[in-house]
Amino acid sequence: MKIIIKLTLLILFLIPAISGANTFYLDGEIFSNINMEIAKEIKIPQGVKSFSVYIGQIQSFSSPTFNQQILSFNTKYSTTPSNIEDKIDENGNKYLIARWENPPSELNINTAFKVKSKVAFSDLKSKSSFPLSNISPDIKKYLSDSPYAQKNDPAIVSLSKKLTEGAKTQYEAVTNVLNWVVDNMKYTLEPPQYDALYSLKTGTGNCQNFSNLSVSLLRAAGIPSRVVIGFTVKNNWRVKHTNDGSTRTLSLADGRHAWFEVYYPDVGWVEYDAQQTLTFVSTRYIRQGVGVDSKEVSDGIYKWSWLQKSNESPSVKEAINATFEDDKNEVQSGKFVSNPRNHLFGILLAAVKEEIPVPPLKKEEVQPIPKPEIPPPPLIKPELPPPPREPVEPTPPEKKEWGDLTKLKYTKSAEFGNLNFPEVIDIFAEYKKKEMAATATDVSMSSSFVVESAEYVTDKEVFAQSFELKTPMMVKDISLAMHKFGGTHGNLWVEIVEDKNDSPIGDKIESERIPINNIRYFNGYKWIPFSLERQKIILSPARYWVVLRYSGDAIFNWFYIYGNPYGIPDDTKSMMPEGSEWNNILSYDFNFRVRGTESE
């Protein structure tokens, strides 16, 4: 019987100052030239007399921090449409509406475009005060109530007032709202509803929920804002911390995404993403259309009419392929503020940039921050911190003395982890049916925002996810949500590693190894359990890391969820190449499951 006992209590209380930081302000440069292709494969059942597809056109766009230039755009059809209509809606979004009479049983539509984009990390030079006044008539639409952004609801109005009261500038008011959303929303792939009220009541949702709730709270405070619909591409970018040399990796999946823009009267529309960034979005975002909420943008809508009523529906699969001709990513962060609790990356308002000092490198005592139901508005302009103190060993909190762990009875079944991922559904079918029409023979469906958020984890880079035990546990197995793409020889296994200095560098225990050839191919992602049962491993209460290891020709992805739905910020790390330090922090939590029995 093996036992891991955590002895270094001091590590739980003393962490580098940068680990407590939560909004990192950036300098540097990102620009990209991307060739993008969106391929739709549509199968149409018999009995459909007409079929239409709404295809959003990608347009050039420029803001104070983000520039998107479309160099080419074209769409090809396997069967020529009976009619193609150009449409511009009231938000300025452009669409192609392709229509087929007596359509074929299969359609292939390929849209290809080339985009050149750049992030300007220069200071945001807005002097807009709060509350706003003299908003132009063409902007007032983005102060309105809407089906998915219920800004007039009493709960929205009340929270918005609490978050923005005392703010002197628009930048401060917007940041207060964003900080609250970041700290009080947890990401989930397929929520049953996308509107702001559902998001507020449950605290869960996907990118649409984050954006609809954000714009509702902002509009309730009199700040014009609108939801953006577009695409993101999976090509990680990294921020280097000039203070200690560590890096942070920001990741997004290939697929549809929603974020939002805020109108500043003196500088125009500015980008925000409540899942990741403040006052900008990266070149991994491709902006397609805007609306008062996520429902108003019409790209990815399919409409058809039956000769007779039928319960069948067309099936649509969408594949997104992005190749980077050029990609420059030289981004640094040397300044930060300690709110929100979860991480954001932003560009500072010019007026406050020099007021934020470069943080010291010495370790300081960090007190836990309780999570209030509605936190007070965080300060945007931090005061100068006191001189750094020498580390002082804190008094450990009272804890239960467990004694000899081998003599305890482990009879209580236990299971925990980051458990929410699309285990059953096939996430590669990226559309779901939504009944929207009023008649029996006219039906429509719209595109889903389900994406494959997963990391390719069997290459040179090594990945780790942390978890914490409150009571002793005899571990049966640890499972990872994975998809097998290939491999015939070699093994997969995991290590449980004791935490030291917020990294997996302590004592470790290895699971049984699984031959790659024994893992069958399957659709979507499933739990792959790594057994520790025969070793009778007992873990004492402490923090640990799960590190994935492999040999041979394994090709596997490990599913993750945006943000930190399971634990705390900085609980997912990677190391590259093998043998270097665990100095790269990831912006998501992997899906994992720990099973075993706890002591009574």
pLDDT at 301 over 90: no
* Residues constituting the chain: 600
At 382 the pLDDT is 39
- Say if CB 200 and CB 156 are below 8 A apart: yes
At 600 the pLDDT is 77
Of 463, 469, 465, 457, the closest CA to residue 537 belongs to: 469
Residue 21 domain flag = no
pLDDT at 355 over 60: no
Give me 591's structure tokens. 């899906």
Largest CA distance in the chain: 79
At 3 the pLDDT is 55
Residue 372 domain flag = no
At 546 the pLDDT is 97
Of 34, 55, 33, 51, the closest CA to residue 42 belongs to: 51
At 5 the pLDDT is 42
Q: Give the integer Cα–Cα distance in Å for 317 and 104.
A: 16
Mean pLDDT score, 95-112: 95
342 and 265 assigned to the same domain = yes
At 403 the pLDDT is 82
567 and 425 assigned to the same domain = yes
pLDDT digits (tens, 9 = 90+) for 192-236: 999 999 999 999 999 999 999 999 999 999 999 999 999 999 889
- Say if CB 6 and CB 545 are below 8 A apart: no
Count of domains for the chain: 3
The DSSP code sequence of 312-335 is: ---EEEEEEEEEEEEEEEEEEEEE
Mean pLDDT score, 4-26: 48
More confident of the two residues 431 and 52: 52
- Say if CB 472 and CB 600 are below 8 A apart: no
Report the CATH number that the domain containing residue 314 is assigned in CATH. 2.60.40.2250
Q: Give the integer Cα–Cα distance in Å for 199 and 258.
A: 15
Question: Alpha carbon of 583 to those of 94, 244, 336, 572, 574: distances in Å?
Answer: 44, 9, 18, 11, 7
What is the domain extent for residue 496?
402-599
183 SS3 class: helix
Of 125, 216, 130, the closest CA to residue 167 belongs to: 130
Which of 139-148, 312-321, 388-397, 398-407 is predicted most confidently? 139-148
Residue 377 domain flag = no
The 3 state secondary structure assigned to 128-150 is: CECCCCCCCCCCHHHHCCCCCCC
Residue 34 domain flag = yes
The DSSP code sequence of 516-552 is: GGGS---SS-EEEEEE-GGGTEEE-SSEEEEEEEE-S
198 and 313 assigned to the same domain = no
- Burial of 396-420, coded b for 16+ CB within 10 Å and e otherwise, reads eeeeeeeeebeebebeeebebbbeb
The DSSP code sequence of 546-571 is: EEEEE-SS-EEEEEEEES-SSS-TT-
Query: For tokens 């087929």, what's the residue?
Result: 100
At 8 the pLDDT is 30
Cβ neighbours, 10 Å, residue 264: 25
At 340 the pLDDT is 87
pLDDT at 402 over 60: yes
pTM across the whole model: 0.84
pLDDT digits (tens, 9 = 90+) for 374-392: 444 444 443 333 444 444 4
- Burial of 349-361, coded b for 16+ CB within 10 Å and e otherwise, reads beebeeebeebee
Q: How confident is the model at residue 526 (pLDDT cuts 50, 70, 90)?
A: very high
Cis, bond preceding 377 (omega within 30 deg of 0): no
Cβ neighbours, 10 Å, residue 73: 15
Report the CATH number that the domain containing residue 343 is assigned in CATH. 3.10.620.30
Q: How confident is the model at residue 166 (pLDDT cuts 50, 70, 90)?
A: very high
Ranking 38-52, 167-181, 305-319, 433-447 by mean pLDDT, the lowest is: 433-447
Residue 8 domain flag = no
Report the CATH number that the domain containing residue 439 is assigned in CATH. 2.60.120
The DSSP code sequence of 43-93 is: E--TTEEEEEEEEEPP--EE-SSEEEEEEEEEEEESS--SEEEEEE-TTS-
245 and 284 assigned to the same domain = yes
Residue 81 domain flag = yes
Mean pLDDT score, 308-324: 86
More confident of the two residues 335 and 8: 335
454 and 503 assigned to the same domain = yes
β-sheet bridge partners, residue 85: 97
476 and 588 assigned to the same domain = yes
More confident of the two residues 593 and 437: 593
At 329 the pLDDT is 93
Give me 44's structure tokens. 């149409």
At 423 the pLDDT is 65
Q: How confident is the model at residue 286 (pLDDT cuts 50, 70, 90)?
A: very high
pLDDT at 364 over 70: no
151 and 195 assigned to the same domain = yes
- Burial of 453-488, coded b for 16+ CB within 10 Å and e otherwise, reads bbbebbeeebbbbbbebeebbbbbbbbbbbbbeebe
- Say if CB 539 and CB 472 are below 8 A apart: yes
Q: Give the integer Cα–Cα distance in Å for 483 and 454.
A: 9
* Alpha carbon of residue 581 to chain centroid: 25
Cβ neighbours, 10 Å, residue 49: 14
Residue 16 domain flag = no
545 and 583 assigned to the same domain = yes
> Residue type at 423?
E
pLDDT at 326 over 70: yes
Which of 9-23, 147-161, 285-299, 439-453 is predicted most confidently? 147-161
Q: Give the integer Cα–Cα distance in Å for 113 and 75.
A: 9
139 and 287 assigned to the same domain = yes
454 and 317 assigned to the same domain = no
At 315 the pLDDT is 87
β-sheet bridge partners, residue 205: 187
Question: What torsion, rounded to 10 degrees, do the Cα atoms 91, 316, 432, 311 define?
Answer: 120
Q: Give the integer Cα–Cα distance in Å for 178 and 534.
A: 48
Task: State the average pLDDT for the chain.
Answer: 85
Mean pLDDT score, 142-169: 97
Q: Give the integer Cα–Cα distance in Å for 104 and 429.
A: 21
Residue 20 domain flag = no
β-sheet bridge partners, residue 445: 302
145 and 290 assigned to the same domain = yes
Mean pLDDT score, 554-565: 88
256 and 337 assigned to the same domain = yes
